[in-house]
Amino acid sequence: MDKLTVKDVPVQGKKVLLRVDFNVPLDEDGRVLDDSKIRASLPTLDYLLAKEARVMLVSHLGRPKGKVVEKMRMDPVARRLAQLLGRKVEKCDYITGPEVQAALRNLSPGAVLMLENVRFDPREEKNDPAFAAALAELAELYVNDAFGAAHRAHASTSGIAAYLPAVAGLLMHKEIRYLSKSRDNPLFPLVVIMGGKKVADKIGVIRHFLPFECSVLLGGAMANTFLKARGFSMGSSLCEDDKLELARHILEEADRSPAQLLLPVDVYVVEELRRHSPHQVKGVDKIPPGWSAVDIGPQTVKNFREVIAKAKMILWNGPLGAYEFPPFHWGTEMVARAVAATAAESIIGGGDIVAAMEKLDLSGQVTHISTGGGAVLNFWEGKELPGLTALPERSVTQASSP
């Protein structure tokens, strides 16, 4: 996959609609808690501004469901972006219409205008052609740098490309390059780490990699479902009983495949999950009735770290325990430190793991941290991502020199 990028087309002085993924967490006072997604798109912004493009930013924030929600306005994001850029970022309280056109007329070359939360308009998530066309009327070029929303067939991520010349941003290009290699031409020994709560979210990825001679390490609440499918009594552990049959099928497929699927052999258990709950370590065959598995145990961590140490490529999505309830972040942290300590090419996706790496100050020791969660899983699974499908391939497009 080799998409045409912003560096392949003329952008000097042009009006550019840049779709970004600035769906960042805010505190109760409206301050940005984690600006990693904003920082990830700075190379594309810097490139466009250096070419004196007039840049209009489009992003969603939260799930307003087609209505104006005051606490989901883009103003705090615009303020944080201005701090990171070291320049003023204009903010418009509208997405399309005369107010936006007026703001655009006043926008100088090399300046930035942030439009309002695109999901305030109910037509966005419906991929409404009229809304996509209205967005397209604002610009001369569409640049998609929002990999985290690439799995959504929305007007600003997909539909707009039918009305404007469309290219990938530099972040989108980077995501495609690393994820394509990891999915289609991985290095071996390959280790795939899957955690989190829901089996259904990860099942396609697990199935994609089972034909490879690789190691698939499972943790988090989803591992409880696989353990229960193996016949272990999981007490009161969080399990998806409606996915037990699916888990059994995957285990049978794994037994017949070249891949090695590793489940936890011991876990931390609690009677009640809260911060610093009293806890015990139990083998997965000895979980007491009424107790819940909330983190992988010491022997499991040892087993996982031994496999990770031999890897040449590591892919990871999802925490391996109840990370938000210390000390049940321990298993995730120990595995994260093992990943960071290897010379392997490591690719990590998903907000919880990205946040963990940032908190542990390990981000600089990982090859690539993706800005996508669901988009990463869909990509690894081999699903079509509408936001990528809408962008032309370099090989079939006549590119002009920038």
Residue 398 has pLDDT above 90, yes or no: no
Would you place residue 122 in the very low, low, confident or very high pLDDT band (cuts 50, 70, 90)? very high
Mean of all residue pLDDT scores within the chain: 95
Q: Which residues have C-beta within 8 Å of that of residue 203, sequence separation ≥ 6?
A: 246, 250
* Average pLDDT of span 234-257: 96
Peptide bond into 289 cis (omega under 30): no
Q: Per residue, what are the HEC states of 326-358?
A: CCCCHHHHHHHHHHHHCCCEEEEECHHHHHHHH
Ramachandran region, residue 5 (left: φ > 0; alpha: ψ -120 to 50; beta: rest): beta
Would you place residue 309 in the very low, low, confident or very high pLDDT band (cuts 50, 70, 90)? very high
Residue 40 has pLDDT above 90, yes or no: yes
Judge residue 29's burial from the number of C-beta atoms within 10 Å of its C-beta, 0-12 exposed, 13-18 middle, 19 or more buried. exposed
Both tokens of 293, joined, read: 């598995």
Domains present along the chain, CATH in parentheses: 6-174 (3.40.50.1260), 186-381 (3.40.50.1260)
* Average pLDDT of span 348-372: 89
**Which ranges in 115-169 belong to alpha helices (H)?**
129-136
Query: Which element (helix H / strand E) includes 252?
Result: helix 244-256
Contact 330, 321 (CB under 8 A): yes
- Helical packing angle, 199-209 and 374-381, nearest 10°: 30
User: What does the alpha-carbon distance between residue 168 and residue 41 come to, in Å, rounded to a whole number?
Assistant: 12
Q: If DSSP codes are grouped into helix, strand and coil, which group holds residue 163?
A: coil
Indicate the pairing of strand 141-144 with strand 89-91.
unpaired
Q: What pLDDT score does 104 carry?
A: 95
Q: Which of 35-44, 224-233, 347-356 has the lowest mean pLDDT?
A: 347-356
Both tokens of 170, joined, read: 């530099």
Contact 119, 60 (CB under 8 A): yes
Beta-bridge partners for 215 = 191, 260
Residue 292 has pLDDT above 90, yes or no: yes
User: What does the alpha-carbon distance between residue 103 and residue 92 come to, in Å, rounded to a whole number?
Assistant: 7
Rg (CA), the chain: 23
Both tokens of 52, joined, read: 């004196």
Q: What pLDDT score does 160 carry?
A: 98
Spatial strand order in the sheet of 292-296: 280-283, 266-270, 292-296
Both tokens of 13, joined, read: 């002085």
For residues 58-86, one letter each, b for 16 or more C-beta atoms within 10 angstroms of the residue's C-beta and e for the rest, the string is: bbbbeebeeeeeeebbbebbbebbbeeee
For residues 294-312, one letter each, b for 16 or more C-beta atoms within 10 angstroms of the residue's C-beta and e for the rest, the string is: bbbbeebbebbbebbeebe
Residue 401 has pLDDT above 70, yes or no: no
Q: If DSSP codes are grouped into helix, strand and coil, which group holds residue 223?
A: helix
Both tokens of 8, joined, read: 């392949």
Residue 399 has pLDDT above 80, yes or no: no
Q: What pLDDT score does 397 carry?
A: 42
Residue 354 has pLDDT above 90, yes or no: no
User: What does the alpha-carbon distance between residue 180 and residue 194 come to, in Å, rounded to a whole number?
Assistant: 18
Q: Which of 297, 338, 34 is nearest to 193 (CA)?
A: 338
- Angle in degrees, CA 161, 113, 158, rounded to 5: 15
Tokens 């994260």 -> residue: 336
Peptide bond into 64 cis (omega under 30): no
- Angle in degrees, CA 390, 393, 394, rounded to 5: 140
